[in-house]
Amino acid sequence: MRPIGLDITAYENVEEYDGKVETNKYGDISYEWLQKNDLNKFYVAHEAHRPRADGVEGICRISGEVHTFRAGSYSGYSAFRNLLATFLLNHEGVEPSREISEHVESHEVWNNSENFEGKPFYEIINFSDCEGTIGPETSAKLAQDFEEHEEDVKSLIKRRSDSSDYYVRKYDAWMQAFKLAATTGAVEFH
């Protein structure tokens, strides 16, 4: 049995599917049918996050490269987001609410979202930790954030975490996912 946590799949190309859909006797779409036909069903988990899907929703055809990784247990993923939030709240151009040496929780970004929209990593910090879709435009923005701030965030990770190698690998996996999806793809949280 697989431990509970967050898995990520990034798709290079995603396009709307408007063909016939096969369902089972209960009216549900079969996962096997989707896979066999290079299709996937993308979800928007929370209405507030719909804009981040950039129109990728419902059944879509998938093609090109696919990158899958385990983002971690829910608490491990939360710790990673907290590291990104610590960077964000202490990033140049954002009025820091505390000293850099203090730990920051993601909810400080969630609870003040109007102050952070468009800032580095905001779209992943303030997003579902269980399911949802980030589309190509938002992926391109996040890919740029991950590339532009790589050195500083990895330095912060190494100073702040007893598991720095683990979180550096997660940072690299996220960067690869968003780069892959940045043009015509999507990143799926599941």
Mean of pLDDT values over 119-144: 97
Spell out where the chain has E strands: 6-16, 39-42, 58-72, 132-134, 186-189
Residue 35 lies in a domain: yes
Which pLDDT band, with edges at 50, 70 and 90, does 1 fall under?
Answer: low
Which pLDDT band, with edges at 50, 70 and 90, does 40 fall under?
Answer: very high
pLDDT of 88 over the 70 cut:
yes
Helix (H/G/I), strand (E/B), else coil: 127? coil
Mean of pLDDT values over 30-40: 94
Residue 88 lies in a domain: yes
Residue 57 lies in a domain: yes
User: Could you list the residue range(s) of the whole structural domain that residue 140 is in?
Assistant: 6-189
pLDDT in tens, 129-140: 999 999 999 999
Count of domains in the chain?
1
Parallel, antiparallel or unpaired: strands 132-134 and 58-72: unpaired
pLDDT in tens, 173-186: 999 999 999 999 99
Residue 48 vs residue 2, higher pLDDT: 48
Start-to-end Cα distance in the chain: 16
Residue 104 lies in a domain: yes
Residue 1 lies in a domain: no
Residue 15 lies in a domain: yes
